[in-house]
């Protein structure tokens, strides 16, 4: 193991983030999910059915990127897409029962990753949220500050999935 006592805080933080995400993704793969898929199904779980374009907007990705994520979710039975009755050009995305179960399973998997460390995950979460809010307020562009503002209101799912 390298001498982490000499590492700058930024290196520690980015390394920890990569290791947590890698471990979580390994667990998610067992139920046919990716990190991007978890974000999408959490939005659907919290907000109900919506169009692919609305979902992409809430998650802050391009519609084409969301389409790839949804194709994978659909192949694993987590979502269904049906033509909109009001606009035949768009599809309404809904969670299936399997998708609802996957939301809960993903949350359990995330908790299990952090439980392996000898820290209090609730304290870590509160500290990380404080860092994000403080730095976004001080140093971030207006777009980044808006994401943090959305986190507080529950709209930015990239960060909300860890709230």
Q: How confident is the model at residue 162 (pLDDT cuts 50, 70, 90)?
A: very low
Is 102 within 8 Å of 31 (Cβ atoms)? yes
Q: Given this model, what pLDDT does residue 80 score?
A: 97
**pLDDT over 80 at 85, yes or no:** yes
Share of the chain above pLDDT 90, in %: 46
Is 119 within 8 Å of 100 (Cβ atoms)? no
Q: Given this model, what pLDDT does residue 163 score?
A: 35
The mean per-residue pLDDT over the stretch 61-82 comes to 94
Helix axes 121-139, 142-153, angle to 10 degrees: 140
pLDDT greater at residue 160 or residue 110: 110
Domains in the chain, ordered, with CATH?
Answer: 18-117 (1.10.10.10), 118-163 (no CATH)
**pLDDT over 70 at 156, yes or no:** no
**pLDDT over 80 at 148, yes or no:** no
Per residue in 14-57, pLDDT tens?
999 899 889 988 999 999 999 899 999 999 999 999 999 999 99
Share of the chain above pLDDT 70, in %: 85
**pLDDT over 70 at 127, yes or no:** yes
Q: Given this model, what pLDDT does residue 97 score?
A: 97
The mean per-residue pLDDT over the stretch 84-101 comes to 90
Please name the residues in contact with 4: beta carbons below 8 A apart, sequence gap of 6 or more. 12
**pLDDT over 70 at 108, yes or no:** yes
**pLDDT over 50 at 5, yes or no:** yes
Q: Given this model, what pLDDT does residue 149 score?
A: 62
Q: Give me the residue label for tokens 């986190």.
A: 151
How far apart, in whole angstroms, are the C-alpha atoms of residue 155 and residue 22?
A: 25
């Amino acid at each position: 193991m390298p001498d982490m006592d000499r590492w700058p805080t930024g290196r520690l933080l980015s390394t920890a983030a990569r290791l947590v995400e890698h471990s979580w993704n390994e667990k998610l793969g067992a139920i046919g999910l990716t990190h991007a898929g978890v974000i999408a199904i959490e939005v659907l779980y919290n907000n109900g059915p919506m169009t692919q374009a609305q979902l992409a907007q809430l998650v802050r990705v391009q519609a084409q990127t969301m389409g790839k994520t949804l194709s994978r979710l659909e192949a694993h039975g987590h979502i269904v897409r049906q033509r909109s009755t009001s606009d035949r050009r768009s599809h309404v995305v809904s969670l299936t029962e399997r998708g609802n179960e996957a939301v809960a399973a993903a949350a359990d998997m995330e908790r299990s990753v952090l439980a392996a460390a000898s820290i209090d995950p609730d304290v870590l979460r509160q500290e990380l949220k404080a860092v994000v809010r403080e730095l976004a307020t001080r140093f971030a562009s207006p777009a980044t500050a808006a994401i943090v503002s959305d986190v507080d209101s529950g709209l930015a799912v990239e960060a909300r999935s860890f709230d």
